[in-house]
């Protein structure tokens, strides 16, 4: 029985499959196998440990709901940007159905949840992406919600934090998804001019058009340990250069080494670290 469940938890599926919508549900049943250290773990224990492997420290992917719970002071989160509905601009077959079934399964409207809340009493505008919803890909609604969050942060003169997890721009909406990169980046240019703080937090995986727009534009960029972060996906690079990629390529530690992120922060320290940065940026005016 246990073995059957473990078999179902093929680490390949959890890590790289495009059918990764199950990533957040990987802790189904009583036991799970860590795809990094292969240790068999008791689900409760992993859950209590913020979905980090107690044995090797592997940070498993988590839903936006859990992320918000881990970061935001209890009872302070007020969601904004609700009720926006994705359309099907390319008339891509099955797209609406796919969205509907995901909404039902994940209980969220789209691949990002936005709102206002407090972190150790510091008020912020927060956007949290969710890899369980079409790999956190950015289409019209994700682009719009991120932009609205940025604009709200400008209007209320509050710091902005975005937790990124994304496979990139959403292909099902074609060029309109691509243009969300320009839209969100232009909004951040305004935010920047207002002298407001933007902290970008990169989690596993952050790739493609999200990396090439708001993910990389933080005043301060944090990342969880060993997150895959890059523009091109590893398989595309391998196919292009016809070489195997070096160990640790495009992982958080690699980006830190090359100067593209500020700090690697473990999940258990994330809230405190964010609170500290926010306090250092508290405005005197």
Binding site for another protein (CB under 8 A): 18, 83-87, 89-92, 140-141, 143-144, 147, 169, 171-183, 185-190, 192-193, 208-209, 211-217, 229-233, 236-237, 240-241, 243, 245-246, 249-250, 254, 258-260
User: In whole angstroms, how close is the CB of 64 to another protein at the nearest point?
Assistant: 20
CB of 145 to another protein, least distance (A): 10
8 A C-beta contact, residue 161 and residue 126: yes
DSSP assignments along 14-59, one per residue: HHT-TTGGGGGGTT-SSEEE-TTT--EEEHHHHHHTTTB-TTT--B
Please give the Cα distance from 239 to 27 (Å, whole number). 33
Residue closer to another protein, measured from CB, 64 or 184: 184
The smaller minimum CB distance to another protein, of residues 156 and 189, is found at 189
CB of 238 to another protein, least distance (A): 9
Give least dist CB 227 to another protein, A. Answer: 13
Beta partners for residue 118, in sequence order: 123
Say if residues 47 and 27 touch (Cβ distance below 8 Å): yes
Q: Of the two residues 101 and 269, which places its CB atom closer to another protein in the complex?
A: 101
Closer to another protein by CB, 68 or 264: give it.
Answer: 264
The least distance separating another protein from the CB of residue 61, rounded to whole angstroms, comes to 20
Q: Alpha-carbon distance 241 to 237, whole Å?
A: 6
Instruction: Reduce the DSSP state of residue 284 to 3 states and report it.
Output: coil
Dihedral angle computed from the Cα positions of residues 122, 126, 129 and 130, in that order, rounded to the nearest 10 degrees: 60
């Amino acid at each position: 029985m246990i073995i059957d469940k473990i078999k179902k938890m093929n680490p390949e599926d959890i890590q790289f499959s495009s059918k990764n919508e199950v990533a957040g549900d990987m802790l189904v049943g009583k036991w799970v196998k860590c795809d990094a250290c292969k240790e068999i773990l008791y689900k409760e224990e992993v859950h209590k440990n913020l979905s980090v492997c107690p044995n090797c420290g592997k940070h498993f992917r988590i839903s936006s709901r859990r992320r918000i719970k881990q970061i935001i002071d209890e009872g302070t989160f007020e969601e904004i940007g609700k009720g926006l509905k994705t359309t099907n601009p390319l008339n891509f077959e099955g797209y609406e159905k796919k969205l509907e079934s995901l909404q039902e399964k994940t209980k969220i409207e789209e691949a990002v949840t936005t709102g206002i809340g407090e972190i150790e009493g510091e008020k912020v505008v927060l956007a949290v992406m969710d890899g369980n919803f079409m790999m956190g890909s950015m289409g019209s609604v994700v682009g719009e919600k991120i932009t609205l969050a940025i604009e709200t942060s400008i209007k209320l003169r509050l710091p902005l934090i975005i937790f990124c997890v994304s496979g990139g721009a959403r292909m099902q909406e074609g060029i309109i998804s691509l243009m969300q990169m320009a839209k969100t980046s232009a909004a951040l240019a305004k935010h920047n001019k207002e002298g407001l703080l933007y902290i970008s937090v990169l989690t596993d995986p952050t790739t493609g058009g999200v990396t090439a727009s708001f993910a990389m534009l933080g005043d301060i960029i944090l990342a969880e340990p060993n997150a895959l972060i890059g523009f091109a996906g590893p398989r595309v690079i391998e196919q292009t250069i016809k070489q195997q990629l070096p160990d640790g390529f495009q992982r958080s530690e690699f980006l830190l080494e090359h100067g593209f992120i500020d700090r690697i922060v473990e999940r258990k320290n994330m809230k405190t670290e964010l609170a500290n940065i926010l306090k250092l940026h508290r405005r005197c005016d």
